[in-house]
Structure formats: C-alpha cells, structure tokens
Amino acid sequence: MNSRRPTLADVARVAGVSRATASRAINGAYGSSEAVRERVRDVAAELGFEPHAVARALATGRTSASRRERIEVLIVDPDPDAMTAKPFYGRVLTGAMRALGDRDISLEIRRVSAPPASDADPPFGRLLINVHGAAGAACARRARTVSLGRSAPGVAFVAPDNDGGGYQAAVHLVTTGRRRIGAVFGPPTPCAEERKAGFLRVMAGAAQAVVSADGDFTRAKGYAATKELLARDPRLDAVFASCDVTAMGVLQALREAGRHVRDDVAVVGFDGSALAEAADLSSVYMPVEDEAAAAVHHLLDPALPAPGRLPTTLRVRGSS
C-alpha cells in the first residue's frame, strides 16, 4: 500500500496543468480561469492533497504577509530618461492601474536596456513593451504574458491598428494637396514597420515620391532626420512623424529652417498624446490606456479572448 502523501506535482499532473497553475488555482490567486480552478481543486480533493502553508512560505521565500501578487510592466528602452521623455509609458500605466482597480495586486515597472535573460522570482503576470522575437517567447515561458504590440509567435498581444493609422495620415496629406512629402519613420519594431507600411501604401497609389529617414521615437532623432530631409528636398511641404515625440523634433527643425508649419509644411504625428494637444499637432490617436487595460484584464482572466487590435483615428489640428 502506498502511504505517500499526494504532492502539488501530483495534482498538477492529474489535472493536466503546470505546477505553478495548480498552486495558483488552489490558493485562489489571479492568473487562472474559474474552470481551471474548479478542476484543480476537484483533483486535489480526490487525491486528498492538503497544502502546507509553512512549507509553501519556505519554498517561495515569502511569508503570508508578503504574498501579494504582482504584474510587471517590462519596458525595453535604452534611454534612461524614457519614462519622462515618452508619454506613451505613462498612458500605459494609467490604463493598467485602471484595469486593476482596487484589487490587491502590485504593479511594478521595470525599464531595462535589453530583455532579461532569466528571472529569479518571476511575477504572475507580465506586460511586455518593445520585447520581440526570442526574447518575447522566453518571457512568456516564465510568466503569464501579454505584449503591447506584436512580440513573438504564440505570445498574446494587444495593439493599435498601426497600418490603418499610417494609411489615414498619408490620405490626409495627399487629399489636402501636399505634393512633396517627407517621412520620419520609426525603429525596426513591428509597430513602426506597420505604420510605415500603411503610409507607403497610399504614397505608392498616389504615384508620389517620398523622401524618408529612419528615426527611433525620440525628439533628437526627429530633429536630425528633418534637417536631413530638408537638405535633400528644401521644398518639402509635408512631414509625417511616426510618433508625437519624433514630431516635436520635426517641428523644431522646421522652425529653425524658417518654414511655417501648415502654411509651408504640414506635419502629422502618431500617438495622440498630450504632446499633440499642447502643440496643436495633427496626430493619429491610438487608445493606449484601453490597450493596457485590455492586456491586464487578459492577464487576470486568461479565459477572455486575446485582445487583438484596437482602432486608430486621425485627429486633425492646426499643424495640417
């Protein structure tokens, strides 16, 4: 007769889930659906499994007073001032906190220059920003993960309709009579490439040449790229900037060159942030707060369908 007490690993194996999922289901933690929780608890009851609170605390290194669940917002951005220089991140945090409401869950922000290779103590959920390819897949293996923007195959994501937003910006410039159009595109990331593709699709159909330069979603690069575009075509009458921060550099370079925004050169950005409103900048609005909230809701309840794409809308202001 086998008198060995059933373990959490036994429960997980019989229930057909991971050990971490079994633990969360038994303890009523976030990150598992109601159906999974019921199945795991039924299996635990059938096997006669009884969790040992002291052993659990010793195994995790946490006492009952410190077992607060957490969601980590992992931002890969080499700029140490990124959190203040880029309004996008603040909007993400606003949406995430809105989704958490009064739940007893910590929201941690981690900005790194490169994706972490490992995790000594992974969170129950992770929101990825600017984490792509193998790094995104690795993060998803270590914790429940949703990415803002496409990350890697198999990783759930929520993103704006970047392609449609780029398309709207280009249509606006062409239909308002702009003929010598420049563009400061973004870095080689999925969201930037999608904006670029939508923009260039209109330009190809309009049979208009576009002078362009690559940017990195910073004001400094937007400034330098615009000076480059003006050197290549001093008669530019429009510039599309792939994000509002980039557009701030575009506007500065145009002012220094003596070009009057809108009368001489139309400018359209992308994000629809507070920067766009303050600068009277036409910009493609993307609902960042709603994206972040949808991602957090999916982390809290994985039974919900993957968030997918949210619509973007061009908001025309005084710059175009």
Over residues 44-56, the pLDDT tens digits come to 888 888 765 444 4
Average pLDDT, 10 consecutive residues per value, the chain (320 residues): 72 85 73 78 83 46 55 93 93 95 90 84 88 88 89 92 98 95 95 96 85 94 97 96 97 97 97 94 97 94 84 97
Asked whether 22 and 8 are in contact (CB, 8 A), the reply is: yes
Q: Among 47, 66, 85, where does a domain finish?
A: 66
Is there a domain that residue 3 lies in? no
Looking only at the bridges linking them, the beta strands covering 313-315 and 282-285 are antiparallel
262 and 238 in a single domain? The answer is yes
75 and 133 in a single domain? The answer is yes
171 and 258 in a single domain? The answer is yes
Contacts of 120 (CB under 8 A, 6+ apart): none
CATH code (residue 147): 3.40.50.2300
198 and 302 in a single domain? The answer is no
Is there a domain that residue 189 lies in? yes
Is there a domain that residue 120 lies in? yes
216 and 251 in a single domain? The answer is yes
For position 63, what pLDDT does the model report? 41
Burial category of 318 from C-beta neighbours within 10 Å (exposed 0-12, middle 13-18, buried 19 and up): exposed
* pTM exceeds 0.75: yes
182 and 209 in a single domain? The answer is yes
Query: Where is 125: in which H helix or E strand?
Result: strand 125-129
CB atoms within 10 A of CB 122: 18
Instruction: Please report, rounded to a whole number, the percentage of residues in the chain having pLDDT higher than 90.
Output: 62
For position 12, what pLDDT does the model report? 86
Cα distances from 87 to residues 82, 171, 259, in angstroms, run: 9, 26, 27
Domain range enclosing 102? 69-159+288-308
Name the β-bridge partners of 267. 239
For position 199, what pLDDT does the model report? 97
Domain count, the chain: 3
For position 26, what pLDDT does the model report? 76
Is there a domain that residue 2 lies in? no
